[in-house]
């Protein structure tokens, strides 16, 4: 059961000067691939993939918070397109044909699709996908903050970016509690004997070595063709 409280989760959205062109960019976080609707639905569906009561509760709590973030983005778009429908700036945007306020489109006018949702029926796989999803959202918010036309809009976006960082930490801690934060293996199928092999397949220039192909963790095959022969 859900209840809608008629108050934004953070604070009232304050826009100093409506800017419909920026509102079109904000659609990226309303109906885009990295947007709040995608995150809310992804985490909500994932909550049914685990019997772990605590992780289920966390996924549902974060999903509901993401719905509140969708409301905040929607409110920003509404205010940035309100009472500016006769301006040349408004007429050069998607809102000229779709009307004021938010729509389930991204900034280029592409309709939202369920293919944006990344869930796969295993909680370890899902939590790792969520870390990537939060990274994508955070990158989009950073771009929007750099382009924000007024301080009020920027403060709202900074709050939303901050919560993406918080969610990332929660997902990482959940994985850590399961011993799966750094363990690449999950599931029931055991890997074969190539699991610790690193193939050096970049041949022109200096061979770079690092933690990703160290002799402590991997069998480094410097010349795969020679090895095969």
Q: pTM of this prediction?
A: 0.92
Mean predicted confidence (pLDDT) in 14-37 = 96
Give the contacts of 182 (CB within 8 A, at least 6 positions apart): none
Phi, psi of 198 (to 5 degrees): -115, 120
pLDDT for the residue 207: 87
- Residue for token pair 């796969």: 120
pLDDT for the residue 228: 66
Structure tokens at 154: 């920027």
Whether the pLDDT of residue 120 is over 70: the answer is yes
Classified as helix, coil or strand, 121 is coil
Q: Name the CA radius of gyration of the chain, rounded.
A: 22
Mean predicted confidence (pLDDT) in 183-204 = 91
pLDDT for the residue 203: 75
Q: In this predicted model, what pLDDT tens digit does every residue of 72-85 receive, in sequence order?
A: 999 999 999 999 99
Contact between 149 and 19 under an 8 Å Cβ cutoff? The reply is: yes
Please tell me which residue, 5 or 211, carries the higher pLDDT value: 211
Nearest-angstrom CA–CA distance, 81 and 26: 11
Which DSSP symbol is given to 189? P
Structure tokens at 203: 């041949």
Confidence band, pLDDT 50/70/90 cuts, at residue 229: low
Mean predicted confidence (pLDDT) in 117-131 = 96
Whether the pLDDT of residue 168 is over 70: the answer is yes
Mean predicted confidence (pLDDT) in 12-33 = 94
Summary mean pLDDT of the chain? 94
Mean predicted confidence (pLDDT) in 18-37 = 98
Mean predicted confidence (pLDDT) in 167-194 = 95
Mean predicted confidence (pLDDT) in 190-216 = 91
Mean predicted confidence (pLDDT) in 57-70 = 97
Polymer length in residues for the chain? 229
Confidence band, pLDDT 50/70/90 cuts, at residue 8: confident
Q: In this predicted model, what pLDDT tens digit does every residue of 66-112 receive, in sequence order?
A: 999 999 999 999 999 999 999 999 999 999 999 999 999 999 999 99
Whether the pLDDT of residue 223 is over 70: the answer is yes
Confidence band, pLDDT 50/70/90 cuts, at residue 14: confident
Element (H, E) at 112: none
Structure tokens at 139: 């990158």
Structure tokens at 168: 């990332």
């Amino acid at each position: 059961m859900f209840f809608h409280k008629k108050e934004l989760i953070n604070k009232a959205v304050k826009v100093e000067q409506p800017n419909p062109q920026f509102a079109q960019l904000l659609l990226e976080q309303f109906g885009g691939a990295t947007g709040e609707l995608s995150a809310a639905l992804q985490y909500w569906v994932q909550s049914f993939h685990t019997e772990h009561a605590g992780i289920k509760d966390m996924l549902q709590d974060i999903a509901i918070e993401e719905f509140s973030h969708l409301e905040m983005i929607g409110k920003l778009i509404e205010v940035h397109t309100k009472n500016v429908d006769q301006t040349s700036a408004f007429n050069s945007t998607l809102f000229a044909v779709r009307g004021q306020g938010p729509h389930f489109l991204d900034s280029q006018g592409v309709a939202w699709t369920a293919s944006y949702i990344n869930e796969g029926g295993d909680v370890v796989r899902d939590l790792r996908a969520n870390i990537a999803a939060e990274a994508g959202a955070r990158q989009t918010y950073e771009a929007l903050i750099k382009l924000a036309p007024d301080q009020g809009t920027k403060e709202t976006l900074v709050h939303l970016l901050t919560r993406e960082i918080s969610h990332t930490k929660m997902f990482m801690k959940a994985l850590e509690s399961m011993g799966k934060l750094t363990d690449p293996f999950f599931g029931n199928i055991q890997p074969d004997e190539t699991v610790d092999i690193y193939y050096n397949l970049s041949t022109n220039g200096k061979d770079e070595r690092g933690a990703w192909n160290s002799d402590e963790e991997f069998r480094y095959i410097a010349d795969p063709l020679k090895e095969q022969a």
